[in-house]
Structure 1
Amino acid sequence: MQELGTGDASARATAIYDYGQTAIFASRVDPRLHMLLYVPPTAADGRKLDLLVAVHGTGRTSAIDFRDGFAEFGLYNDCAILCPIFPVGVLGDGARSGYKFIEEGDIRYDRVVLAMVEEVAAKYGQDWSTFAMFGFSGGGHFTHRFAILHPERLWAASIGAPGSVTLLDPTRDWWVGIRDLEARFGRPFRPQELAKVPVQMVVGDADLETWEITHQPGGRYYMEGANDAGATRPERLAALAESFRDAGVDVSFERVPGVSHDRIKVLGHVKAFLAKVLKDRRAR
């Protein structure tokens, strides 16, 4: 059997691990945090792509579900898929939800995602100065808060079934409201920029369990007003939609009939939304 030369082996490894459904990579800016991607093989020939960042929920395994679930969409819509992985207990304390609220200890997850995007854009020779973001459950937490902080970086945002929401309320502090946004994160709220972002909010109408989303006094993320947006995920997302609309944002709100807290069953709705936004964006 003929042995592969060094160049042949390197090219084969690149094709296997860096294109299509990729390996899991550590982030260069913070190797505690990871990512995996779907990159259409046409990118190897210099084809320009858009980017979707898809953010997992509390179980983290949805990172693979989203990478694989959006792969066909990415192939036929010239769109790479980047799925960050933020491990449970990254600070050694067993905490599951830090990323959802943007900051945890010394980690600013919004900055990590921006660094990941910059890293992979350079790697694949792409301009991903703006990108789309989708997240479901814990990822829905992250996505709407990222949109509040960095609207200028998004060409679309799809927010799926977050358990808790940050309303655009200037009378309450983060995370319930945005009064101290600039003091906490160094970024003022910019409603004019957020209003430029097409936003989808999607939740199953049977997503009604409250055991995981009701904040109790003494809980890690409890604060006054933590449960005021509603009791269930549909109620809380509807409150978020109203808050965004009041700020001038065009929100497409989809309550999917017969669906509970099931990320896979909303992906078709997300793909349809993103495909329309991409079509309109490219037409311009």
Structure 2
Amino acid sequence: MDFKRPLSTAQVPTRFLQSAMLTDSVPLKALRSDPRISYCLYVPTEHYNPDPSRNPTSKGEASHPSYQLPKLPLIINIHGTGRDVGSCRRRLIGLAKRERCAILAPLFPTALDDELDLDSYKLLRSKTLRADLALLDIVAEVTSRYPGIDTEKFLLSGFSGGGQFVHRFLYIHPERVLCATVGAPGRVTRLDKALNWPQGIADVGEVFGEELRATGGDVSLGELRKIRSIQMVVGGDDVQVPDEDFNEWARKMKGVLSQAGDGRQTSSLEPMRVTRVATLRSLHEEWSSLGISTTFQVVEGFGHTSEGIHPTIEAFLIPQLRDWWSSGQSQQVTVTHRSIPDS
């Protein structure tokens, strides 16, 4: 047994999967390539095949009915600024049981870059973090641990800060995403070549050079157009704008912290000055004009609450999952995974 690699469910007798906390609600695990980052899962035991490579006609343990099950699709749900990763998983457990899928919820903690760092993961790249690559490393670990989950392409969802992460991740790694939900982001990145990242994409090749080498250092509109469907959703009453005095205080304090630290400056988000409804509507119009498949939904009667718009998100995800199953998506292998660094 290679103890430098994650423990695979293929190595665990089926009757011990729940006792080893490898199925149902799986506790937070530290990411091997960056232990500051962690993730939790929900893997429905009754729908999970722990080792699809086994011959289902074998005798003994290998004859267990679970070894005849197909692979599960994967939904990744990205938390907002409050980091309520438990809710990101909990809200989707019923869906996972009914529609046969696995749920992954990563946790990007605060204070990675400085004491006031709430936003580094939303930018994908900051002074000490590559959140997009961390997510792909998480997916690579899941691939190794869970051979019964199809991770080639995943369904990606996020609310608030998670919505910021999701739409920027689509710019850099569109080939990994089957469909996506962008929920109520306060600030967005435009497909504008006159503005630098994260306001626009003028310097995206410089910021994410290695990942965009195949597309000449630019966002691939062709790959974005291949994504089956993108939902943009926001509460109708989500019209509050953060206090400008706080924005000014935070800007000054970050300057003080930077001078007290190593002095390096990083990309940062501009203060939120317009409502999330207006921001998301504008992004939808931009993407639609470029031929990217998006739907824009306003959920009336709710403000900035993930609980309030979750039923609308779930209603979007259900047909996507059913299309996945009906199209035999689990048999398609088109993407090379990131390798897992040895511990």
Distance in 1 of aligned mates of 2:279 and 2:249 = 19
Equivalent residue of 1:133, what SS?
A: strand
Equivalent residue of 1:193, what SS?
A: helix
**Aligned residue for 1:108?**
130
Q: Is the 8 A contact 1:215 1:222 kept in 2?
A: no
Deviation of 1:94 after TM superposition, in Å, equals 3.7
Which of structure 1's runs of 4+ aligned residues deviate more than 4 A? 7-14, 212-218
- Larger-gyration structure (1/2): 2
Distance in 2 of aligned mates of 1:157 and 1:20 = 24
Distance in 1 of aligned mates of 2:93 and 2:12 = 26
Equivalent residue of 2:115, what SS?
A: coil
Q: Which sits farther off after the overlay, 263-272 or 134-143?
A: 263-272
Residue correspondence of structure 1 range 269-284 to structure 2 within 5 A: 269-284=312-327
**Aligned residue for 1:195?**
225
Deviation of 1:246 after TM superposition, in Å, equals 1.9
Distance in 2 of aligned mates of 1:208 and 1:25 = 36
Equivalent residue of 2:226, what SS?
A: coil
Distance in 1 of aligned mates of 2:316 and 2:13 = 40
Q: Which sits farther off after the overlay, 90-99 or 255-264?
A: 90-99
> 37, 41, 54: which one pairs with 2:41?
37
Residue 123 in structure 1 maps to residue 145 in structure 2:
yes
Could you tell me which runs of 5 or more consecutive residues in structure 1 were left unpaired when the two chains were aligned: 1-6
Distance in 2 of aligned mates of 1:94 and 1:10 = 45
**Aligned residue for 1:249?**
292
Deviation of 1:23 after TM superposition, in Å, equals 0.7
1:237 is aligned with what amino acid? L
Q: Is the 8 A contact 1:216 1:222 kept in 2?
A: no
**Aligned residue for 1:4?**
none
Cα distance, 1:8–1:278 mapped onto 2, change above 3 Å: closer
Deviation of 1:69 after TM superposition, in Å, equals 0.5
Residue 208 in structure 1 maps to residue 239 in structure 2:
yes
Deviations 1:67-126 (A, max 9, x none): 010011011112111000011112453411110111122310000001101111221103
2:288 is aligned with what amino acid? R
**Percent identity at matched positions?**
33
Q: Is the 8 A contact 1:16 1:22 kept in 2?
A: no
Residue 80 in structure 1 maps to residue 123 in structure 2:
no
Q: Which sits farther off after the overlay, 151-160 or 46-55?
A: 46-55
- Normalising by the residue count of structure 2, what TM-score does the alignment of the two structures yield? 0.74
**Aligned residue for 2:8?**
none
Distance in 1 of aligned mates of 2:183 and 2:172 = 18
**Which structure is higher in RCO with an 8 Å CA cutoff and minimum separation 6?**
2
Distance in 1 of aligned mates of 2:250 and 2:195 = 19
Q: Is the 8 A contact 1:60 1:85 kept in 2?
A: yes
**Aligned residue for 1:3?**
none
**Aligned residue for 1:20?**
24
Equivalent residue of 1:32, what SS?
A: strand
Equivalent residue of 2:35, what SS?
A: coil
Equivalent residue of 2:145, what SS?
A: helix
Q: How many residues align?
A: 273
Cα distance, 1:146–1:86 mapped onto 2, change above 3 Å: same
Residue 53 in structure 1 maps to residue 76 in structure 2:
yes
Cα distance, 1:143–1:215 mapped onto 2, change above 3 Å: farther
Equivalent residue of 2:198, what SS?
A: coil
Residue 146 in structure 1 maps to residue 173 in structure 2:
no
- Normalising by the residue count of structure 1, what TM-score does the alignment of the two structures yield? 0.89
Q: Is the 8 A contact 2:156 2:179 kept in 1?
A: yes
Cα distance, 1:279–1:174 mapped onto 2, change above 3 Å: same
**Aligned residue for 1:231?**
274
> 164, 170, 175: which one pairs with 2:187?
164
Could you tell me which runs of 5 or more consecutive residues in structure 2 were left unpaired when the two chains were aligned: 1-10, 51-65, 213-217, 255-267, 328-343
Distance in 1 of aligned mates of 2:243 and 2:126 = 20
Residue 137 in structure 1 maps to residue 167 in structure 2:
no
1:209 is aligned with what amino acid? Q
Cα distance, 1:252–1:218 mapped onto 2, change above 3 Å: same
Q: Is the 8 A contact 2:187 2:269 kept in 1?
A: no
Q: Is the 8 A contact 1:145 1:166 kept in 2?
A: yes
